[in-house]
Amino acid sequence: MATSSYRQLRVWQNGMELVQRVYCMTRCFPKHEVFGLSSQMQRAAVSIPANLAEGHTRGTTKEFLRYVTISHGSLAELETMFLVARDLQYIDAENYNQLAALCESTGKMLSALRRALIKKLHSQKSPNPKSPNPKSPNP
């Protein structure tokens, strides 16, 4: 998990792939959706890698965890909009299935990253059991 750049994160790379696919897909949406579903999907997709990048550069585990959580929320929002697009027949079942699979793999990566960051946070907070307690009396 220790990477010098957010660009090395596989989950960020998956997020960027989602952005590319969403922009390509929404070009075919009806014109009346330009400021509706198309725009919402594009913003949610961009939010995934953008929040990972911002959180990674914040410099603290706690901040990074916060932004990973926001990215995960944006992914859930995007998944919901994929369902809407499918139900409105803006995308076919094959495209939907491919996008759903990419969302699923990205979600698993976000969950794993979130667990790792929580574990790191807990290890930073717990006192070192080998260090002497300054308040305890000397025997």
Residue 100 pLDDT > 90: yes
Inside any domain, residue 37: yes
Supply the range of the domain harboring residue 25: 6-125
Of 16 and 124, which is predicted with more confidence? 16
Residue 132 pLDDT > 90: no
Inside any domain, residue 98: yes
Number of structural domains in the chain? 1
Inside any domain, residue 132: no
Inside any domain, residue 14: yes
% of the chain with per-residue pLDDT over 70: 88
Distances (CA, A) of 84 to 6, 69, 78, 79, 107: 31, 23, 10, 9, 19
In this structure, is the dihedral angle defined by the CA atoms of residues 33, 84, 66 and 21, taken in order, positive or negative? negative
CATH number at 101 reads 1.20.1440.60
How much is the pTM?
A: 0.86
Hey, is 59 helix, strand or coil? Answer: coil
Q: What is the rounded distance in angstroms from the CA atom of residue 5 to the CA atom of residue 107? A: 20
Inside any domain, residue 133: no
DSSP 79: H
Inside any domain, residue 59: yes
Residue with tokens 């998944």: 79
Average of per-residue pLDDT values in the chain = 91
